[in-house]
Chain A
Amino acid sequence: AQSVTQPDIHITVSEGASLELRCNYSYGATPYLFWYVQSPGQGLQLLLKYFSGDTLVQGIKGFEAEFKRSQSSFNLRKPSVHWSDAAEYFCAVAQGTGGFKTIFGAGTRLFVKA
């Protein structure tokens, strides 16, 4: 069965510092991979997605993620964090034929300190 692991429950970074959020997945075939962000009291917003092709994908708000098949990872990065990036981040993997079932990780809460 497919699964998604986000090893870090929470991370604290200083504003302006770089960020990397880790995500590992378990899936037999090439997965569809996603990163979503959730601000308090809000629904999830898609940051970026990977289906195929270039393993480095660019997303919104200056985020990027790199798919590494050999490590079954899809880590999210940002070179310089802003205070407004404080939120919960979810990695997700989708499978399906004729419709998709998405499995979400437990999330990583990002705190940004001034």
Chain B
Amino acid sequence: EAGVVQSPRYKIIEKKQPVAFWCNPISGHNTLYWYLQNLGQGPELLIRYENEEAVDDSQLPKDRFSAERLKGVDSTLKIQPAELGDSAVYLCASSLGQGETEQFFGPGTRLTVL
């Protein structure tokens, strides 16, 4: 069974530029999560989807961050414009659905903003 796929694995951009990250969850997983992981910290939830609905986006900085999961499968997280403080690893995870707590994580995208 294929795991959670994320691309790109690494991204280097200059500040004020836009950037997008893509995630394909495990087949059949209805719940998708985007996390932010700063160096030396644990992951922090940015947004959680149940199918195509964003059910928890309270921690998403909506002035510059946006996300979509149009067909309830893969998802894109965008930052526009990027700031120096956005340098971090962006993790995507998926789980079977509501009531299932075990999450499966992708390898992450390491973003460096110069």
Contacts and interface: CB of A to CB of B under 8 A. Distances in A.
Contact of A106 (B40, B93, B106, B107): B40
Interface residues of B, number: 24
Interface in A84-111: 90, 92, 94, 96, 98-102, 104-107
Interface string A30-73: 00101010000111111001010000000000000000000000
Contacts of A43: 4, 91, 93, 105-108
Binding site of B, secondary structure by majority: helix, strand, loop or mixed? loop
A94 B40 contact: no
B45 A99 contact: no
Contacts, number: 57
A79 B39 CA distance: 29
Contact of B101 (A94, A104, A107): A94
A34 B104 CA distance: 13
B106 A100 contact: no
Interface residues of A, number: 26
Contacts of B93: 43-44
15 contacts: A32-B101, A34-B101, A43-B91, A43-B108, A44-B93, A44-B105, A46-B102, A46-B104, A90-B43, A92-B42, A94-B101, A99-B50, A99-B55, A99-B56, A102-B101
Interface of B: 4, 31, 40-45, 48, 50, 55-56, 91, 93, 98-99, 101-108
Interface of A: 4, 9, 32, 34, 36, 41-46, 49, 51, 90, 92, 94, 96, 98-102, 104-107
Closest 9 interchain pairs by CB? A104-B42, A43-B105, A44-B105, A100-B101, A43-B107, A94-B101, A99-B98, A43-B106, A90-B42
